[in-house]
């Protein structure tokens, strides 16, 4: 039991395990993942309030932005630069999304781009929907960090700490929501909320929604949608996914120009993450934004879809 708890709270244990049966799912390690889903059923106990719903939406949007703008566009693709302090802040916020730490996330995503939709692609839909949607990150072989892809990120001790103890940050978030709910219940009873309600809606429901919408980029954005640019993979642009992921659904655009800070290349392609990053750039919080190479876009444009 001690070894299981250690694996939950210290990810370095995955670096020393025997991965002979690496295609198998590590059921002991994913107990927290299952528990998060089951905890959503407690909504039947804690009930509903408008304040809980708004907090659920706020925690969804903030953490989705941290994943799309920082875990993806910044840590994985270096599409802009920022200070070490802001890098740390959004690494922590991203960790509360319960999708592991920024180094692990970036390493697997960089691997995905190198091998996209090939046999070596860890989460290609060619391996099946459920494999690409969630099974791949529950497998023993995918728990360790692919360090060869992220030497640049591993030089930051604070990022290594977040990756090693990534479960700490969702726990702290849940505790913070519990205290917030208790405060609101005591001082603003007219809001009809409670400590338990705030945790269930603000963390558990929000996290499950956030997680599966993010996973859909792997499982659906290489299957459903349209292609505007010729790439070596099956990436698709999908308007619905773009709305719910704050811009990540313009996936064919992204695979055409992975290093671009914006993924909606046309005026009607809504990319909320880029809009926020654009404002942050004007405020001096981020700089050196990389934009799509127009010559490359013109070269790879599929004329029938233009």
DSSP character string of the chain:
-HHHHHHHH-GGGGGSS--TTTTSB-TTTTHHHHHHHHHGGGHHHH---HHHHHHHHHHHHHHHHIIIIIIIIIIIT--SEE-HHHHHHHHHHHHTTSS--HHHHHHHHHHHHHTTTSTT-TT-GGG-HHHHHTGGGGBGGGSS--GGG-HHHHT-HHHHHHHHTTTHHHHHHHHHHHHHHHHHHHH-GGG---HHHHHIIIIIIHHHHHHHHHHHHHHTTTTSSB--B--SS---B-HHHHHHTTTTTBHHHHHHSTT-S----STTS--HHHHHHHHHHHTTSEE------HHHHHHHB-GGG-
Summarize pLDDT for 187-213 with one digit per residue, the tens: 999 999 999 999 999 999 999 999 999
- Residue 300 inside a domain? The answer is no
Summarize pLDDT for 70-120 with one digit per residue, the tens: 999 999 999 999 999 999 999 999 999 999 999 999 999 999 999 999 989
- Residue 8 inside a domain? The answer is no
pTM for the full model? 0.94
- Residue 11 inside a domain? The answer is no
Backbone angles phi, psi at 82, to 5 degrees: -155, 175
Backbone angles phi, psi at 103, to 5 degrees: -70, -50
- The domain tally of the chain equals 1
Closest by CA to 165, choosing from 2, 5, 3, is: 5
- How high is the mean pLDDT of the chain? 93
- Residue 306 inside a domain? The answer is no
Assess whether pLDDT exceeds 90 at residue 226. Answer: yes
Alpha carbon distance 228, 256 (integer Å): 9
- Residue 211 inside a domain? The answer is yes
Residue numbers of the domain that contains 67: 27-224
- Residue 103 inside a domain? The answer is yes
Alpha carbon distance 48, 292 (integer Å): 44
- Residue 45 inside a domain? The answer is yes
Summarize pLDDT for 228-239 with one digit per residue, the tens: 999 999 999 999
Alpha carbon distance 305, 265 (integer Å): 14
- Residue 65 inside a domain? The answer is yes
Summarize pLDDT for 125-163 with one digit per residue, the tens: 988 999 999 999 999 889 889 899 999 999 999 999 999
Please give the structure tokens belonging to residue 266: 């046309």
């Amino acid at each position: 039991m001690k070894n299981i708890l250690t694996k939950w709270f210290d990810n370095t244990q995955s670096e020393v395990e025997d991965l002979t049966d690496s295609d198998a799912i590590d059921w002991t390690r994913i107990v927290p993942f299952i528990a998060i889903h089951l905890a959503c059923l407690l909504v039947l106990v804690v009930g509903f309030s408008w304040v809980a719903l708004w907090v659920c939406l706020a925690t969804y949007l903030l953490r989705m932005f941290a994943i799309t703008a920082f875990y993806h566009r910044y840590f994985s693709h270096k599409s802009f630069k920022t200070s070490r302090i802001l890098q740390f802040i959004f690494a922590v916020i991203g960790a509360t999304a319960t999708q592991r730490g920024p180094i692990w996330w970036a390493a697997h995503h960089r691997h995905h781009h190198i091998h996209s939709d090939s046999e070596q692609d860890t989460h290609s839909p060619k391996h099946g929907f459920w494999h690409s949607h969630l099974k791949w990150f529950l497998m023993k072989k995918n728990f360790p960090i692919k360090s060869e892809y992220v030497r640049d990120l591993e030089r930051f001790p604070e990022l290594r700490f977040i990756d090693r103890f990534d479960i700490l940050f969702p726990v702290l978030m849940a505790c913070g929501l519990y205290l917030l709910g208790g405060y609101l219940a005591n001082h603003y009873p007219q809001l009809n909320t409670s400590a338990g309600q705030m945790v269930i809606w603000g963390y558990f429901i929000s996290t499950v929604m956030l997680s599966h919408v993010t996973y859909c980029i792997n499982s659906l954005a290489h299957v459903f949608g349209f292609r505007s640019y010729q790439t070596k993979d099956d990436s698709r642009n999908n308007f619905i996914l773009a709305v719910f992921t704050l811009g990540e659904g313009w996936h064919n655009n992204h695979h055409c120009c992975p290093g671009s800070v914006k993924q909606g290349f046309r005026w009607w392609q809504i990319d909320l993450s880029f809009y926020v990053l654009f404002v942050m750039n004007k405020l001096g919080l981020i700089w050196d934004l990389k934009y799509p190479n127009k010559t490359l876009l013109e070269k790879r444009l599929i004329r029938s879809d233009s």
